[in-house]
Chains A and B, each alone.
Chain A
Amino acid sequence: MLQALKSLRWAQPLRALSTSTAGTQPIVSPKTPAPEPDKLYSKLEIELRGIDPAVLKSYTWFATTAADHLGIEKGKCWSPRKAHHERMTLLKSVHIYKKHRVQYEVRTHFRYMNFHKLTGSTLDTFLEYIERNLPEGVALQASKTELQQIPEHLRQPPEQV
């Protein structure tokens, strides 16, 4: 186990790159930042939403190819067979003729990708790269599962309470 912990590479100062990720990241101070152990992520789940399934498919191909080149373990990539339809039914006429309606709909296609076993620096690099190349009209949602040790104060039962 000690070996495993030693083989964890120290986090590289990559934080400056992560501008497009929504969230709060600690800012590394310019004067010799204390080496901080790299984070571990067991899973990265990416959900894509778009109006055109073909664009999503091309993008998935791009992301999985990039993962192959970077040596990231791929998980299941799938998409639901049917799109989500949001329908609006209105009267065709201004206010009478109730039997005649017109229907508008907005379709949202989904696509999911899973990646496993990423270190913090790998995840930041990979996510940054694929987010920068996100085509227009596609929304991306990345769920990251971070692994952490049990905090010091929870390892032993409290001696006095």
Chain B
Amino acid sequence: MSTGLTRVWERLPLKKQAAQSGIRVFSQQQPEIEDEEEFRVLNLRTVKQQFQRRREVRRDPVTPPRTNRMAVDQDWTAAWPAPRSFHPASVPLPLRQGFTERGAAAPSKFANAELMKIPNFLHLTPPAIRQQCEAIKKFCSPWPKGLETEAKWQRHFPVEVITTDYLQSLPTIRNLEARRVTISLKLSDLKFDAHARDKFLRLVGDRYNKDTDTVTFVTDRCPLRKQNYDYAMYLLTACYHESFVTEPWEASKSEADMEVYLFERNQSKIAAEGILNWSAKEGDNKISPPPAYAQCVEQLINEGENEYNLAKYKEEVKKMLNV
């Protein structure tokens, strides 16, 4: 079938050529006849000759579109290697683009500005992507084993640093927003004592998220990303080390300044000890109230009196006094 078609195609231009050559033979004969019959005019006044032949504009032959010569199984990635505006002579697809009234065909791909406007992905065909990815795969490295889940990688790499890159179509690659650095880590990954933890939370303020137990530092005051990162790490270090400093005036904290009730420094401990050591003599080891009792008293006062806390308090008191 295909061979038959090609034969027809070959025949057609041949026929045309033959027809053209016949005409040419005929037209060559004609001027001779005209020359004989031409009548010479007596030119008294030197009037410009009216029958001046118009100069033929010589046009260079326009080559047919490249798509005619393209093989069916050509390497398309070589024909269209890089991003480029659409060119109809290079794309062997019968594309049409444009809105028309009902019934009319959309404008064809030749001299169609709409197709030139829209960004095309002709250089990113699936084979091209595969080919390029295979070429750049040697620069990639696999994710290390043993860090598959989030829990695992958070055990070894608790600090998260978030940075952002911006890419826009501008003559400059700088973007002011790119300087911003966010550092976050879980508070449980840092080692604290009770006083240091309290002070650290006071220092960081609302940068601590109670629900997720994370501390987040966002820095953007320096012009460069590196500087902001260093500054965020400095903040973290400074807060951590500062939280272990105990100022001399902290010892003078009175009971009225306490935010929470502590069993250790309150009257109830002395009272409980008094009851437990009722019959003890001087020099004997003092019996201190059990930690479970201390905890339940703290809970009762800090959380308020509810049914559960009261019941637990009752249990503990009974247990302590061996009732």
Asked if chains A and B come from one complex, the reply is yes
Q: Which of B6-14, B163-171, B300-308 touches A?
A: B163-171
Query: Cβ of B146: which chain A residues have Cβ within 8 Å of it?
Result: 1, 3-4, 7
Q: Mark A146-159, 1 if CB is under 8 A from B, else 0.
A: 11111101111110
- Report the bound CA distance from A52 to B193 in whole Å: 56
* Residue contact B118 to A66, C-beta cutoff 8 Å: no
Distance in Å: Cβ of B195 to nearest Cβ of chain A? 11
Number of interface residues of A (CB under 8 A): 65
Query: Cβ of A149: which chain B residues have Cβ within 8 Å of it?
Result: 156-159
- B74 interface hit (Cβ, 8 Å): no
- B174 interface hit (Cβ, 8 Å): yes
Query: Cβ of B157: which chain A residues have Cβ within 8 Å of it?
Result: 40, 147-149
- Report the bound CA distance from A27 to B147 in whole Å: 29
- Report the bound CA distance from A119 to B162 in whole Å: 15
* Residue contact B133 to A158, C-beta cutoff 8 Å: no
Taking CB as reference atom, which chain A residue is nearest B136?
Answer: A125
- A23 interface hit (Cβ, 8 Å): yes
- A108 interface hit (Cβ, 8 Å): no
Distance in Å: Cβ of B320 to nearest Cβ of chain A? 35
- Report the bound CA distance from A141 to B142 in whole Å: 24
Q: Which of A28-36, A82-90, A94-102, A127-135 touches B?
A: A127-135
Residues of A within 8 A of B (CB): 1, 3-5, 7-9, 12, 14, 19-24, 38, 40, 42, 52, 55, 58-59, 62, 65-66, 69-71, 117-119, 121-122, 124-127, 129, 131, 133-151, 153-158, 161
- A sample of 21 cross-chain residue pairs with beta-carbon separation below 8 angstroms, ordered by A number, consists of A1-B146, A5-B144, A20-B173, A23-B165, A42-B150, A42-B153, A42-B160, A62-B121, A69-B134, A71-B142, A118-B143, A119-B143, A135-B83, A137-B169, A141-B166, A147-B153, A147-B157, A148-B159, A148-B161, A149-B156, A161-B241
Which 9 residue pairs of A and B lie closest in terms of their CB atoms, listed nearest first? A4-B146, A69-B133, A147-B157, A135-B119, A9-B141, A148-B159, A122-B140, A140-B167, A125-B139
